[in-house]
Homo-oligomer: A and B are copies of this chain.
Amino acid sequence: MKAKVYVTLKPSVLDPQGKAIHHSAEQLGFQQITDIRQGKYFELALDDSVSETEAREAAEKIAADVLANPVIEDYRVEIVQ
Protein backbone atom coordinates (compact mmCIF):
# COMPACT_ATOMS: atom_id res chain seq x y z
CA MET A 1 0.00 0.00 0.00
CA LYS A 2 1.17 3.54 -0.69
CA ALA A 3 0.47 6.84 0.97
CA LYS A 4 0.99 10.26 -0.56
CA VAL A 5 1.57 13.22 1.72
CA TYR A 6 1.30 16.79 0.44
CA VAL A 7 2.73 19.52 2.65
CA THR A 8 1.99 23.17 1.91
CA LEU A 9 2.70 26.40 3.76
CA LYS A 10 -0.42 27.83 5.41
CA PRO A 11 -1.95 30.57 3.25
CA SER A 12 -1.01 33.24 5.81
CA VAL A 13 2.69 32.27 5.73
CA LEU A 14 4.97 34.09 3.30
CA ASP A 15 6.68 31.87 0.71
CA PRO A 16 9.90 33.60 -0.48
CA GLN A 17 10.99 30.49 -2.42
CA GLY A 18 7.72 30.49 -4.37
CA LYS A 19 8.07 34.24 -4.97
CA ALA A 20 11.58 33.71 -6.39
CA ILE A 21 10.31 30.96 -8.73
CA HIS A 22 7.42 33.21 -9.79
CA HIS A 23 9.86 36.04 -10.51
CA SER A 24 11.99 33.72 -12.70
CA ALA A 25 8.87 32.48 -14.48
CA GLU A 26 7.86 36.07 -15.28
CA GLN A 27 11.34 36.81 -16.68
CA LEU A 28 10.95 33.74 -18.89
CA GLY A 29 7.67 35.04 -20.30
CA PHE A 30 5.06 33.11 -18.32
CA GLN A 31 2.87 36.22 -17.93
CA GLN A 32 -0.36 34.26 -17.37
CA ILE A 33 0.97 32.81 -14.08
CA THR A 34 0.03 35.18 -11.27
CA ASP A 35 1.48 33.33 -8.27
CA ILE A 36 3.51 30.24 -7.39
CA ARG A 37 3.73 28.55 -4.01
CA GLN A 38 6.09 25.68 -3.30
CA GLY A 39 5.30 22.71 -1.13
CA LYS A 40 6.67 19.26 -0.44
CA TYR A 41 5.46 15.88 -1.58
CA PHE A 42 6.25 12.48 -0.06
CA GLU A 43 5.50 8.98 -1.26
CA LEU A 44 5.45 6.43 1.54
CA ALA A 45 5.54 2.70 0.83
CA LEU A 46 3.81 0.70 3.55
CA ASP A 47 4.02 -2.93 4.54
CA ASP A 48 1.34 -4.94 2.67
CA SER A 49 0.12 -6.44 5.96
CA VAL A 50 -1.32 -3.13 7.20
CA SER A 51 -4.98 -2.24 6.62
CA GLU A 52 -6.06 0.98 4.94
CA THR A 53 -7.10 2.45 8.32
CA GLU A 54 -3.72 1.61 9.86
CA ALA A 55 -1.95 3.01 6.81
CA ARG A 56 -3.88 6.27 7.08
CA GLU A 57 -3.17 6.50 10.82
CA ALA A 58 0.57 5.90 10.33
CA ALA A 59 0.74 8.38 7.43
CA GLU A 60 -1.21 11.06 9.36
CA LYS A 61 1.04 10.59 12.39
CA ILE A 62 4.32 10.78 10.44
CA ALA A 63 2.99 13.78 8.49
CA ALA A 64 2.17 15.67 11.69
CA ASP A 65 5.30 14.58 13.62
CA VAL A 66 8.05 14.47 11.02
CA LEU A 67 7.15 15.66 7.53
CA ALA A 68 5.26 18.87 8.28
CA ASN A 69 5.60 21.64 10.84
CA PRO A 70 1.97 22.12 11.91
CA VAL A 71 2.71 25.65 13.15
CA ILE A 72 3.32 26.97 9.65
CA GLU A 73 2.31 24.10 7.34
CA ASP A 74 -0.83 22.19 6.37
CA TYR A 75 -0.71 18.59 5.16
CA ARG A 76 -2.99 16.25 3.26
CA VAL A 77 -2.76 12.45 3.20
CA GLU A 78 -3.99 10.24 0.36
CA ILE A 79 -3.96 6.43 0.49
CA VAL A 80 -3.37 4.53 -2.76
CA GLN A 81 -3.87 0.77 -3.05
Contact = CB atoms under 8 A, between A and B. Distances in A.
A79 B31 CA distance: 17
Contacts of A71: none
Interface residues of A, number: 36
Contacts of A55: 32
B28 A38 contact: no
A16 interface: no
Interface of A: 6-8, 18, 21, 24-25, 28, 30-47, 49-50, 54-55, 58, 61-62, 65-67
10 contacts: A24-B66, A32-B46, A32-B47, A32-B54, A33-B47, A34-B45, A34-B46, A37-B43, A38-B41, A39-B41
